[in-house]
């Protein structure tokens, strides 16, 4: 675990026994000392791409939290190591749920996506290896934790909410790949049927770019299903970013997502 440190920021490689893979961990710390109950924390998946956006939103806007509604928080980026092709294949493994069969859309047929179905092991890495290491190093408020993901990692964010909701309090899913495996994510009613009114509320922010076509429809369908079960424990919101596409949406919505995360119950 080699560590590189600079002002209020640290970076190291963490090898996971659960997944057999090494991840690039980046941490941005607030300049102020923590409150008695510790810092809020936001875990950013695809951290090599999106850590800096979240870090800078919190760093700049928390200076005037009264107006921006963005408070100080620890930002943890979780990134894949290796070349782009290797990292891309690894995303399909870490961020997709196990299934007996996989159904691919026409645009992906014939492409080498690598293995799938490793979401359970990746969640074990987050819960049993990364989070304890973060909590050992820093003062964390365990009741104010959020998970952010985009695209395939947005799919994993939803899957975590639906299968292990107590892992985080707030879930931030931007342009989630609800289309994966013939829209299996829309079949979550079995999970919801096991919840009761007494369960703690978990909160979901979804965003999608206006120009993302079928991904807009998918997000709207999921939101409608969630609203039918709003009396259980998911507070949900969907933001459609005007004139944004799949590649441009994250910088546009990061501030909005982090403001939502700041509204911890």
**Of the residues 62, 151, 177, 236, which is catalytic?**
151
**Three-state secondary structure along the chain?**
CCEEEECCEEEEEEEECCCCEEEEEEEECCCCCCCCCCEEEEEEECHHHHHHHHHHHHHHHHHHHHHHCCCCCEEEEEEECCCHHHHHHHHHHHCCCCCCCCCCCHHHCCCCCCCCCCHHHHHHHHHHHHHHHHHHHCCEEEEEEEEEEECHHHHHHHHHHHHCHHHCCEEEEECCCCCHHHHHHHCCHHHHCCCCCCCCCEEEEEEEECCCCHHHHHHHHHHHHHHHCCCCCEEEEEEEECCCCCCCHHHHHHHHHHHHHHCCC
**Of the residues 10, 139, 229, 246, which is catalytic?**
246
**3-262 to CATH, choices 3.40.50.300, 1.20.120.450, 3.40.50.1820, 3.30.110.40:** 3.40.50.1820
Active site residue 236: no
pLDDT values of the chain reduced to their tens digit, one per residue, 265 residues = 555 556 789 999 999 999 999 999 999 999 999 889 999 999 999 999 999 999 999 999 999 999 999 999 999 999 999 888 888 899 999 999 999 999 988 888 778 788 999 999 999 999 999 999 999 999 999 999 999 999 999 999 999 998 898 899 999 999 999 999 999 998 875 666 566 666 677 899 999 999 999 999 999 999 888 887 766 667 888 999 999 999 999 999 999 999 999 875 5
Would you list the domain boundaries of the chain?
A: 3-262
The model carries a pTM of 0.94
The pLDDT score that the predictor gives to residue 191 is 65
Active site residue 246: yes
**Of the residues 212, 236, 244, 255, which is catalytic?**
212
């Amino acid at each position: 675990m080699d560590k590189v440190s600079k002002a209020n920021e640290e970076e190291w490689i963490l090898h996971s026994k659960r997944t057999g893979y090494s991840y690039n961990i980046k941490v941005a710390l607030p300049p102020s000392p923590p409150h008695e109950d510790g810092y809020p924390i936001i875990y950013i998946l695809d951290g090599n791409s999106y850590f800096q956006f979240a870090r800078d939103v919190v760093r700049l806007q928390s200076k005037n939290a009264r107006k921006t509604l963005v408070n100080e928080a620890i930002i943890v980026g979780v990134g894949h190591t290796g070349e782009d092709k290797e990292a891309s294949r690894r995303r399909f493994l870490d961020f997709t749920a196990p299934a007996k069969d996989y159904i691919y859309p026409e645009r992906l047929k014939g492409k080498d996506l690598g293995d799938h179905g490793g979401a359970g092991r990746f969640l074990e890495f987050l819960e049993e290896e990364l989070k304890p290491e973060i909590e050992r190093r820093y003062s964390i408020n365990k009741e104010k934790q959020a998970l952010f993901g985009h695209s395939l990692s947005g799919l994993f964010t939803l899957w975590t909410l639906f299968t292990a909701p107590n892992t985080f309090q707030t879930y931030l899913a931007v342009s989630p790949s609800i289309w994966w495996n013939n829209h299996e994510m829309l079949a979550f009613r079995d999970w919801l049927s096991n919840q009761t009114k007494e369960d703690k509320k978990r909160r979901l922010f979804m965003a999608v770019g206006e120009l993302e076509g079928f991904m807009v429809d998918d997000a709207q369908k999921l939101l409608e299903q969630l609203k039918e079960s709003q009396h259980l424990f998911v507070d949900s919101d969907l933001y459609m970013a005007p004139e944004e596409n799949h590649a441009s949406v994250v910088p546009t919505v990061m501030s909005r997502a982090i403001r939502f995360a700041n509204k911890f119950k």
